[in-house]
Structure 1
Amino acid sequence: MQYYPVNLDLKGKSCLVIGGGEVAFRKVERLLECGANVKVVAPKLGARIKELIKERKIEYLGTKYKKEFLKNAFLVIGATNNQTLNAHISEEAYNAHILCNIVDQPERCSFIVPAVIVRGDLTIAISTSGRSPALARKMRLDLEKSFGMEYAVFLELMGRIRNKILKSVNGQKTRKQLFKKIIDSDILTWLKNKEFSKIDAYLKKTLGVNLDFSDGLQSKQLFSNSKKTD
């Protein structure tokens, strides 16, 4: 089956997770990172989900799933080992036109979650259309070696540069040439080695402006904030 890849804006959206184990925790954690309002239903709760409830970061609805919990939900994730319950959740979510993901059961899902590498604002998603999560994880691990946190910093830097070029450079062709020249430069290597002075010198020479584009990048924690999801 061919899936249509999308990025969902979950900020402020109500998301329901059924399950209290480690898999459920990873789903909850990622939903929180995306700004969702998360509610959990589970007869047993793992220590990390208990901690989130204690900190009031998520809402605990109780031990038993009820259809009424779907009301106002934007999406629901079933992370239980109860196949009968999973089928029930999937059917009720489908009937209520709510996005539904049942972990490791793509046939019961209206959406599937890819393996993801996150580097700051850069997100790389790998999907096997549910055919082999193990292969998706292997590919994610392989790609993690190629895409370090320097890409997060480079993306932030390119955002600053783009704004400057759009404001100060006329002509779409000239802008494209500048963007390509910067992207094809050694900036990624300099970022990886934290040679910020070389970046400043190169950008001043290339753009003809006296502005420290990398100012402040050294103080950010982007190099230590890599995240991944499977």
Structure 2
Amino acid sequence: MEYKIYTNMKVNIYGIINPITKEIVYIGQTPSNLDYYIKTKYWKLNEVKRGKRNWNKLFHFLNDLLPIKAEITLLKICDTEKPFNDPDGFEKIYIKKYKELNPNLLNETDGGIGGNTHKYKSIDEKIAIGKKISKKLKGKKKPIGFADHLSFIRKGANNPMAIKRNIGIYYKNELVCKCNYAFEVNEFFNKQIWSNIYKYIKCNCPYNYKGYIIKRII
């Protein structure tokens, strides 16, 4: 089983509410204070409008609702130091429950890490994703002298990010990117995810991240 890693031992399972209909339209989890967290959604919405993030169903909802702001409610507190308090598991339970109550729930995954990202996407969306991946990878090569120009920190003998590895990123059972270094995995996803997946790579276990499978090439 895969887990999100939190330094905060308490994780909030929350629901975002349509203030007009009073129905829950989105389920998520966060270790943050909920009043603060809902504000971050609008900060991210501004980044979407500036082209720094991609649109998704939740951002479209928040934008269409303006100038009215969405509300947020606490569904459960998971104390990760206690047994049977896995936030990934409870997130999945609540998403399933509220999808039964509201088939138009805005969640695009089943919850947890990976979460079957493509399950709720239309055929057109899946085709667009495939084209985007192909375009991103087409002719993608590191410039001449790339390895020679790595920073001293990256090439440090004790830096795990600089250890040469043989890591494959797969999409629908197809190898879409081969990474020699851990930082290349982060660069591919444009996010610092290596610290979460290292233990899986170390034991030769596959790791599911947003529909991609990351594993060592043997």
Using the size of structure 2 for normalisation, the TM-score is 0.26
Higher percent of residues as helix? 1
Higher percent of residues as strand? 2
**Which structure carries more relative contact order (alpha carbon 8 Å, separation 6+)?**
2
Q: Which has the larger radius of gyration?
A: 1
